[in-house]
Amino acid sequence: MRKLIKRYKFAILLVLIELIIVAIYPSVGKKSLDITWSSTLEMLAVLPPIFILLGLLDVWIERETMIKLMGEKSGFKGIALAFFLGSAAAGPLYAAFPVAGVLLKKGSKFSNVLIFVGAWSTTKIPLLLFEATAMGWEFMALRFLIDIPGIALIAYLTEKLLNEKDKQYIYDNALA
């Protein structure tokens, strides 16, 4: 029981805060509950297909193949694949993290996983098309051309700034 409480301490804390808000400010609490319920339904609609795809990725793609494609010695090919996978993805950013966990578990280079998450968050193809129609092709192209080296630089610097112990901790958590 203690382990369960420790694991879910933040969720329990948020529920308690929500109950306090409902008790003190009922109208604000109701609106907060409505938003929470809406967000929960959205997540329940998005996450099951993601987990099915993750299961297929885990079974269909051998670890050796992933290491060859996105591992430590993958070079530019791994970077390009990480950008492509992140840009071609659909769904909210929170769906990228389970995918990133599987990529780590399969032996992907840490910076390639960071590039994947960065691309998912900023260079999704539908987002680029929307930007082009709403703000113009020049804006979209300029932002895209700034994002590509920015994502790569952030991923590279993050990997270099983390020591091996920290990276191993992240890999171990991906395996759990």
Token digits of residue 6: 């420790």
Average pLDDT over residues 39-59: 82
Say yes or no to pLDDT of 176 above 80.
Answer: no
pTM for the structure as a whole: 0.77
Q: Which residues contact 102 (CB under 8 A, 6 or more apart)?
A: 54, 57, 58, 174
For residue 50, what pLDDT is reported? 79
Query: Is residue 70 exposed (0-12), middle (13-18) or buried (19+ Cβ within 10 Å)?
Result: buried
Query: Is residue 50 exposed (0-12), middle (13-18) or buried (19+ Cβ within 10 Å)?
Result: buried
Query: Is residue 155 exposed (0-12), middle (13-18) or buried (19+ Cβ within 10 Å)?
Result: buried
Q: Which residue has the higher pLDDT, 176 or 10?
A: 10
Average pLDDT over residues 62-74: 88
75-120: pLDDT as tens digits: 999 999 999 999 988 778 888 888 899 899 888 999 999 999 999 9
**Boundaries of every domain in the chain:** 1-46, 61-175
Average pLDDT over residues 40-46: 85
Confidence band of 144 (pLDDT split at 50, 70, 90): very high
Token digits of residue 74: 């993958």
Token digits of residue 55: 């299961």
Q: Which of 119, 125, 79 is nearest to 99 (CA)?
A: 119
Q: Residue 153 and residue 114: Cα distance in Å, rounded?
A: 10
For residue 23, what pLDDT is reported? 93
Say yes or no to pLDDT of 58 above 90.
Answer: no
For residue 3, what pLDDT is reported? 86
Say yes or no to pLDDT of 22 above 80.
Answer: yes
